[in-house]
Amino acid sequence: MNICLEAVGNRSGSTQTGEHIYEVAVRSNSTNHSSQFADVALLQTFKPLIIPCYTLVVAVGVFGNYLLLYVICRTRKMHNVTNLFIGNLAFSDMLMCVTCVPFTLAYAFNPRGWVFGRSMCYLVFLIQPVTVYVSVFTLTAIAVDRYYATVRPLKKRTSVATCASVLAGIWLLSCGLVAPALTHTYHVEFRAEGFTICEEFWLGQDGERRAYAYSTLLLTYVLPLSAVLASYLCITVKLRKCVAPGHRTHRARKRRIFRLVALLVSAFAVCWLPIHVFNVLRDVDIRLINKRYFLLIQLLCHLCAMSSSCCNPFLYAWLHDRFRAQLWNVLRCRHRVGANGLL
């Protein structure tokens, strides 16, 4: 069975977009039925392995990032610019876990396709990329903030108000970048066949689709991570220079923060690399990816990308002494309150 959107005359069941009218055509070919659905059958065989992995990612991502946000919000000593950026990163990662994973799994394995309705189709397809873009732009903002704090310490530091404005700008910019894809997202019901799709179709605009895909790859992955790498190279050079003995403690603290944010960025870059490579190969020539393994590879790349949301809490707990201490204090206080309530 093939699904395509093609320009047709005005007839019932077609979708009108601008000056053109498109119809979703479902074409069946019984001779190639088994080969066409080989990737779906293979994906189903890995279902007992894939679902527990995704469940673990959601559980760890939501719980870990919630703890990170909770500690930052409850601890006044941690109310600084860097931690506000990291709190925004934790929030976007938690939102990513809640919106990306459950809907992606349900859509991949449900034989009826998209079962969450038209409104959720557009809402989920808006939130999913927005959270990704927010994460990478927030990591870039952290790198720039660390650059000025380490390389140019005499320059006026970013205020909390400025930080809030930057975060608002990051969310608005991310929503703006998603707008073209959202306008080409369609919710189509195949009532005779008993399934529904929620997909991005660039009807007769393959060149525009590729231009948009490569532009977003450049703006939301290559350029930000290049800027982050340049910032951290400058920071590394600065930290290796000799300083006065009285500044050793201050330099050690800067090294710990630098190591933390460098690992956060590295984890994000590594986790998201496979899905970007997959998308580029698909856009260049879809035949470069074996059809039998297409859906399985796509879902595994998506799983790898989603696992980035689990990295932040562990890296923060491992490398940030104050966070570990404050987390222990919060948990101990909650335990005391619970014990007093039972008396």
Render pLDDT for 235-259 as a digit per residue (tens, 0 to 9): 777 777 655 455 556 666 667 767 7
pLDDT at 16 over 60: no
pLDDT at 126 over 80: yes
Q: Which two tokens stand for residue 332?
A: 């101990």
Residue 186's SS3 state is: strand
Alpha carbon distance 281, 228 (integer Å): 25
Alpha carbon distance 294, 278 (integer Å): 10
The string of pLDDT tens digits covering residues 23-37 is 455 444 444 444 445
| Contact (Cβ atoms closer than 8 angstroms) between residue 25 and residue 11 | no
Alpha carbon distance 109, 96 (integer Å): 19
- Over residues 169-188, the mean pLDDT reads 93
Q: Which residue has the higher pLDDT, 323 or 5?
A: 323
Give 1's pLDDT tier (boundaries 50, 70, 90): very low
Alpha carbon distance 63, 94 (integer Å): 8
The overall average pLDDT reported for the chain is 78
pLDDT at 105: 86
Q: Give the Cα-Cα-Cα angle 128, 129, 130 (nearest 5 degrees).
A: 95
Q: Which residue has the higher pLDDT, 326 or 86?
A: 86
Alpha carbon distance 147, 153 (integer Å): 9
Q: Which two tokens stand for residue 1?
A: 């069975």
Fold topology of 37-104+131-180+203-329 = Rhopdopsin 7-helix transmembrane proteins (1.20.1070)
pLDDT at 203 over 90: no
State the pTM of this model: 0.80
| Contact (Cβ atoms closer than 8 angstroms) between residue 93 and residue 305 | no
pLDDT at 45: 85
What number of CA atoms fall less than 13 Å from residue 242's CA on the CB side?
2
pLDDT at 12 over 50: no
Residue type (1 letter), 100: C
What number of CA atoms fall less than 13 Å from residue 23's CA on the CB side?
11
Q: Which residue has the higher pLDDT, 158 or 221?
A: 221
Going from N- to C-terminal start, the domains of the chain cover 1-35, 37-104+131-180+203-329
pLDDT at 11 over 60: no
How is 321-339 classified by DSSP, letter by letter? HHHHHHHHHHHHHHHHHHH
Give 158's pLDDT tier (boundaries 50, 70, 90): confident
pLDDT at 172: 96
* Beta bridge pairs of residue 20: 17
pLDDT at 287 over 60: yes
67 alpha carbon, distance to own chain's centre: 19
